[in-house]
A and B are shown apart, each in its own frame.
Chain A
Amino acid sequence: MRLDPRLGLPALMLSLCLVACGKHGGEASASQSANPVVVGKPHSGGELVFAFDGASLTQFALDPHKSAFAPHARVIRSIFDSLVVLLPGHRIGPWLAKSWEISPDGLSYTFHLRDDVKFHDGTRFDAVAVKFNLDRIKEPKNALYALSDIGGYQASRVVDDFTLRVEFAQPYAPFLANLSKSSLGIVSPAAVQKYGDQFPLHPVGTGPFRFTSMAPGTEIALERNPDYQWSPSGAAHNGPAWLDRLTFKNVPEEATRVAVLENGQAGAVDLIPPQNLVQLRTSTKFHLIERELLNHNYSLYLNSRREPWSDERVRKAFRLSLDVDAAVKTIYLGTARRAWSPLSPSLLGYDASLEGGWKQDRAAAKHALDDLGWKPGPDGIRVKDGKRLTVSFLDAQGNREKRLDLITIFRRQLHDSGFDLKIDSESLGAWIEKTQSGEFDLVAGSLFAPDPDVLQRIYASGRPTLLSIFKGADPELNHLLEAGSQALTDDERVHLYQQAQRLIVDKTYSIPTYVLIYSVAAANRVQGISVDAHGFPVLSDAWLQ
C-alpha cells in the first residue's frame, strides 16, 4: 500500500511514537524519589540544560498537533499550554479555560476562557484562536496527528470573545482528557498563518517558555516568557518561569546522558537507563524524579490476519512459551514492573484483576503445537506441511529503550518451544508500509495517552488509521471500544474498558510486556523539576540554587 505523501511526517512521528515513546525504569507506581535534597527558596535566574533522549532524528518538529513523538512532546509542553490540565486521579483542572459546562447529552462543551492570556508573538488568546486550533486539526488535508484526539468533533461556535461552544456529532467522553495532552496544545493562529509549513520550526504558543532558536536534531533554545501569569491549577507556583533560559539537548545515547549529568554539562537528563537508576537513587549529588507514563504498554502484536497466527491456539502457544517476568526482570534489572494489561496501571479503567492471570507453561505450549500438527524438525524448529514455524519480527527502532534486548530474550524462550523468531530490521518508511499492508508476523509498540480510548485507536477495525497495528477484526471488541468512548459516566466507561482489556488478553490479541516509568535525574543545584500526571516533565517550576 502506498501512503499519501502528505501523511509522511505525521506517519513518521506516529510510528516513532508507537515504537519508541518513553522508557522503562523506576518503581512500580508513580512516585517522586526522596533523595537527600538541599531545599532553599525558589528565585529566578540562570540557565538549565536539559539533555533528553530524542533519538537520532535530524530534525525537530515542534508543532503540537503534528508530533506524536514523545521526546518532542516533552519539549512542546514547555512552549504550549492546553485548555485544561490533567490532575492525578483522572481529575481535570482549569488552565487556559477557567471553567466549562457539558450538555447532558454529551454533545456540546462550553468553555469559559481566561481573558488575560497572550501568545508569544503578542497576539491575543481568545475564543476565535481556540476555534482556529480545533478547525485546523479537523481539516483532513492538514493530516495532523491530533485528529485522533478530537473524536467526532463537528464545529465550534464563538459565543463571545472568551466563550466557546464545541459541538460533537456523537458523544466523545475522552475529549477533556485529550484536551490536556500536549497534542492539543494551543498554537498561535497568526504564527500558523505566517509560517505555514515552517511552523514546526517556529513554534509560537502561550507557554512559560518561548522559542528562540534550534540547531536541527541537536539543540532547542528557549527563554522565559515574562508575561506568563496563567499557570495550570496544581502548579507549584503561578507566574513566569524561574529560569532565564532553558536549553534542550538531544543526547540519544543512554550512557552519554548519564555522563553529561555527572560531569555537569547538563543540569538534568531524562530516561535514565536501569543500570544507572539504582546508583542515582542513592546518590547524594543528584536526585531522581520517576513517574509512570500514561500509556498503552509496549506490547507484542501477532498478525492475526496471517496464517498461522489467525488461529487463537497458535497465539496462545506463543504466549505460553514466554516468561515475561524473567525477561523484564533481566533487562530492566528489577526497575520496571511487568505489565499484565494493555493499559498502564494509572490509566482510568485499568483492570487489576488481570494481574497474575497467566504464566509460562512450555509443556502446554508444546502440547498445543503438537496437536495442531506443528512437529519439531531436526533443528528443534517446528514444521508443518514443509513450512517452518518462523516468526518474523518487524522492527525499525533498534535497541532503543532496550526493547530489542527484550526481544532477544523472548527469541531464546520461543526457540525452546520450537518457534524461530527472526528480526527484520527495516527503515521507518518500510516499517510503516509493512505494518499498513500487514506484511509481518510480529510487531511491537507503545502509545502514550491519558485515556483508555487509546485502545480504540489500536484495536478498532472499523476505521483503520496509521495507529491500527492490530490486524484482527473482532466485532465484540469494536462494540465495547465504541461504547466506551461514548458512555457518559466514568463508572460505565470503566466497566466497558475492563471488559475490553479482558477480551484482548483472553484472545491474545496482544501481549503486554512492561510498564514504562519516565525518569528525570537532576543535579542537586537544580530544584523544582516535576513530572505531570501524563508523565511529561514540567520545567516552569525549576530553579537553580
Chain B
Amino acid sequence: MKSALEQLGGASGGSLPDVVFEAPRATAPRRVSAVRRSASSAPETPEEPSWSRKVLGFLSQLRLADVLVGISLLVLAFVLSCACVPSLIAPFLPTDMRSDAILVAPGAAHFFGTDQFGRDVFTLVVYGARQSLLIGVFAVLISCGVGVSIGLTAGYAGGWIDTILMRFIDVWMAIPAILLAIALSTVLGPSLHNTILAVSVAAIPRYARVLRGQARSVRSRPFIEASRAAGASHWAILRRHVLPHCSVQILVMATLGVGGSILVGSGLSFLGLGVNDERPDWGYLLTQGRSYLTVAWWTVTYPGLAITALVVSVNLLGDALRRRFDPRSAPR
C-alpha cells in the first residue's frame, strides 16, 4: 500500500496530495463499469426498452458490492434514526413494564416479543441503538485522535522519540485489547463514559502503529524537504503535508474501528461492566436475556442481530472506502 501511494504521490508532484486520492477513483472504477455496460447492453433490442426492462437493466449493472453498500447505508440510516428519534420509531416506551405480557412470543402486538420484565423487545432494541452508536463513534474519535497524534509524532520525529513512543506502544499492544478494556472498566466502574474510555484506550495502539509507518514514508519525500527548506515549521508540515497524506488510512481504519468498538462495548455490557440503565444497550439486553434463551429465544436473538447488522454494515462501508481509496485493492 505504502509503495503504491508513494509512487502516485511522486507522480502527482507531491505538493498536491488531493490528486492522489482522486486518481484511482477517477480511473479504475469507470473503466470497469464501462466494460460491464457494454456487455449488458449487447443482447438488448434496439427498440425503446419497457419500464421493467429498464429496472432489470439497471439491476443487472449493479455489482454485489454496490448492493451491499446500499443495504449497509440503509441499515446505518435506520440505526441512526433510532438513535436520534427513538420515540418516533418505537411503538412503546422502554420503561413500560407490563406484568400481563411477560415473555410473549413475537407477534402482531410485539414484533420482537417481550422480555422477562414485560417490556417490548423491539422498543428496547430501538432505544438501545443510541448507546451502541455513541460508544462506537466516540471510542473511535478518542482512540483515533490519540493514536494518530502518537503515530504521527513518532513517525515524523524519528530518532529517540520514535523509539520511546513505539516501544511504549509495543508494550501496550501486547495486552489483548478486550482484556485491557475489561480491566479498565472494572477499575473505573460501570458508566457510559467509562465504557467509551475503556474501549478507546484499548484501540489506541493500532492507530499509532499504522500512522507511524505512514508518517515515516511521507517524511522521506522530497516535498517535505522542500517545505522544510522553505522555512515551514514542523507543526505546519505535519498539518499541511503529513496528515493529509495519511487521511485515507485514518478514514478507513476509523470506519472499521467503529464496528470493533461497538463489539467491544457490547462485550463489556454483556459482562456486566456496562450501564444498568432504564434504557439498556444491546450488550446488556443480551446479558439480561441470556438465562431465558431456552424458553424465550427472542429476548437475545434480536439484540444480537441488531449488533451483527450494525457491525457488518459499518465494516462493509469501511471495506468499500478502502477499495475506493486504496490503489492496490482497485478492481483489476
> What 10 A-B pairs have minimum CB-CB distances, sorted nearest first?
A326-B99, A255-B291, A330-B99, A275-B295, A254-B291, A275-B292, A329-B99, A330-B102, A412-B97, A412-B95
Interface size classification for chain A = 20 to 34
A253 to B292 Cα, complex, angstroms: 12
Contacts of A412 in B (CB 8 A): 95, 97, 278
Question: Assuming the A-B contacts A329-B99, A412-B278, A425-B190, are A255 and B294 also in contact, with contact meaning beta carbons closer than 8 angstroms in the complex?
Answer: yes
Contacts of A408 in B (CB 8 A): 117, 276
**B276 pairs with A423, CB closer than 8 A:** yes
Within 8 A of A (CB), among B287-317: 288, 290-296
Within 8 A of A (CB), among B261-295: 272, 276, 278, 288, 290-295
**B116 pairs with A331, CB closer than 8 A:** yes
A-B contact count (CB 8 A): 48
Is there a chain B Cβ closer than 8 Å to A545's Cβ? no
A404 to B296 Cα, complex, angstroms: 20
Is there a chain B Cβ closer than 8 Å to A88's Cβ? no
Contacts of A276 in B (CB 8 A): 294-295
Produce 1/0 per residue, B97-123, CB < 8 A to A.
Answer: 101001100000000000011100000
Within 8 A of B (CB), among A47-91: none
Give the shortest distance, in Å, between A379 (CB) and chain B (any CB). Answer: 13
A333 to B115 Cα, complex, angstroms: 12
**A398 pairs with B290, CB closer than 8 A:** no
Question: Assuming the A-B contacts A275-B291, A276-B294, A405-B116, are A398 and B102 also in contact, with contact meaning beta carbons closer than 8 angstroms in the complex?
Answer: no
Is there a chain B Cβ closer than 8 Å to A258's Cβ? yes
Question: Assuming the A-B contacts A275-B103, A330-B97, A412-B97, are A405 and B295 also in contact, with contact meaning beta carbons closer than 8 angstroms in the complex?
Answer: no
Produce 1/0 per residue, A309-338, CB < 8 A to B.
Answer: 000000000000000001101110100000
Is there a chain B Cβ closer than 8 Å to A128's Cβ? no
Contacts of B290 in A (CB 8 A): 255
Produce 1/0 per residue, A356-371, CB < 8 A to B.
Answer: 0000000000000000
**A409 pairs with B97, CB closer than 8 A:** yes
Contacts of A258 in B (CB 8 A): 294
Is there a chain B Cβ closer than 8 Å to A273's Cβ? yes
Question: Assuming the A-B contacts A409-B97, A412-B95, are A330 and B118 also in contact, with contact meaning beta carbons closer than 8 angstroms in the complex?
Answer: yes
Is there a chain B Cβ closer than 8 Å to A279's Cβ? yes
> In chain A, what residue has the closest Cβ to B102?
A330
> In chain A, what residue has the closest Cβ to B96?
A412
**A330 pairs with B292, CB closer than 8 A:** no
A408 to B276 Cα, complex, angstroms: 9
A279 to B276 Cα, complex, angstroms: 30
**A330 pairs with B117, CB closer than 8 A:** yes
Give the shortest distance, in Å, between A337 (CB) and chain B (any CB). Answer: 15
Residue in contact with A273 in the complex, picked from B97, B291, B296, CB distance below 8 Å: B291
A409 to B97 Cα, complex, angstroms: 8
Produce 1/0 per residue, A206-250, CB < 8 A to B.
Answer: 000000000000000000000000000000000000000000000
Could you jot down 7 A-B contacts, CB within 8 Å?
Answer: A275-B295, A279-B295, A330-B97, A330-B116, A330-B118, A333-B102, A405-B116
Give the shortest distance, in Å, between B122 (CB) and chain A (any CB). Answer: 19
Contacts of A405 in B (CB 8 A): 116-117, 288
A412 to B279 Cα, complex, angstroms: 12
Interface size classification for chain B = 20 to 34
Contacts of A253 in B (CB 8 A): 291
Produce 1/0 per residue, A383-427, CB < 8 A to B.
Answer: 000000000000000100000110011011001000000010100
> In chain B, what residue has the closest Cβ to A425?
B190
Additional 14 contacts, C-beta under 8 A, given A330-B99, A331-B116: A253-B291, A255-B290, A255-B293, A255-B294, A275-B291, A275-B294, A275-B295, A330-B102, A330-B116, A330-B117, A333-B103, A404-B276, A405-B288, A409-B117
Contacts of B272 in A (CB 8 A): 398
> In chain A, what residue has the closest Cβ to B95?
A412
Give the shortest distance, in Å, between A91 (CB) and chain B (any CB). Answer: 38
Give the shortest distance, in Å, between A261 (CB) and chain B (any CB). Answer: 12
Give the shortest distance, in Å, between B288 (CB) and chain A (any CB). Answer: 8
Give the shortest distance, in Å, between B324 (CB) and chain A (any CB). Answer: 45
> In chain A, what residue has the closest Cβ to B292?
A275
Within 8 A of B (CB), among A437-479: none
A321 to B190 Cα, complex, angstroms: 28
Give the shortest distance, in Å, between B71 (CB) and chain A (any CB). Answer: 34
Give the shortest distance, in Å, between B82 (CB) and chain A (any CB). Answer: 22
Give the shortest distance, in Å, between B197 (CB) and chain A (any CB). Answer: 18
Contacts of A425 in B (CB 8 A): 190
> In chain B, what residue has the closest Cβ to A323?
B99
Give the shortest distance, in Å, between A410 (CB) and chain B (any CB). Answer: 11
Give the shortest distance, in Å, between B104 (CB) and chain A (any CB). Answer: 12
Contacts of B103 in A (CB 8 A): 275, 333
A362 to B283 Cα, complex, angstroms: 34
Within 8 A of B (CB), among A156-194: none
A540 to B276 Cα, complex, angstroms: 43
Give the shortest distance, in Å, between B166 (CB) and chain A (any CB). Answer: 38
Contacts of A327 in B (CB 8 A): 99
A333 to B118 Cα, complex, angstroms: 11
> In chain B, what residue has the closest Cβ to A404?
B276
Within 8 A of A (CB), among B196-217: none
Produce 1/0 per residue, A255-267, CB < 8 A to B.
Answer: 1001000000000
Contacts of B288 in A (CB 8 A): 405
A415 to B116 Cα, complex, angstroms: 20
> In chain B, what residue has the closest Cβ to A330?
B99
Within 8 A of B (CB), among A270-291: 273, 275-276, 279
> In chain B, what residue has the closest Cβ to A257?
B291
Give the shortest distance, in Å, between B37 (CB) and chain A (any CB). Answer: 55
A253 to B290 Cα, complex, angstroms: 10
> In chain B, what residue has the closest Cβ to A278?
B295
Contacts of B102 in A (CB 8 A): 330, 333
Give the shortest distance, in Å, between B102 (CB) and chain A (any CB). Answer: 6
> In chain B, what residue has the closest Cβ to A325?
B99
Give the shortest distance, in Å, between A129 (CB) and chain B (any CB). Answer: 45
A333 to B291 Cα, complex, angstroms: 14
A275 to B115 Cα, complex, angstroms: 12
A412 to B278 Cα, complex, angstroms: 8
A258 to B276 Cα, complex, angstroms: 26
Contacts of B97 in A (CB 8 A): 330, 409, 412
Give the shortest distance, in Å, between B93 (CB) and chain A (any CB). Answer: 10
> In chain A, what residue has the closest Cβ to B272?
A398
> In chain B, what residue has the closest Cβ to A413?
B97
Contacts of A409 in B (CB 8 A): 97, 117
A275 to B292 Cα, complex, angstroms: 7
Give the shortest distance, in Å, between B23 (CB) and chain A (any CB). Answer: 55
A387 to B281 Cα, complex, angstroms: 30
Contacts of B276 in A (CB 8 A): 404, 408, 423
Contacts of A275 in B (CB 8 A): 103, 116, 291-292, 294-296
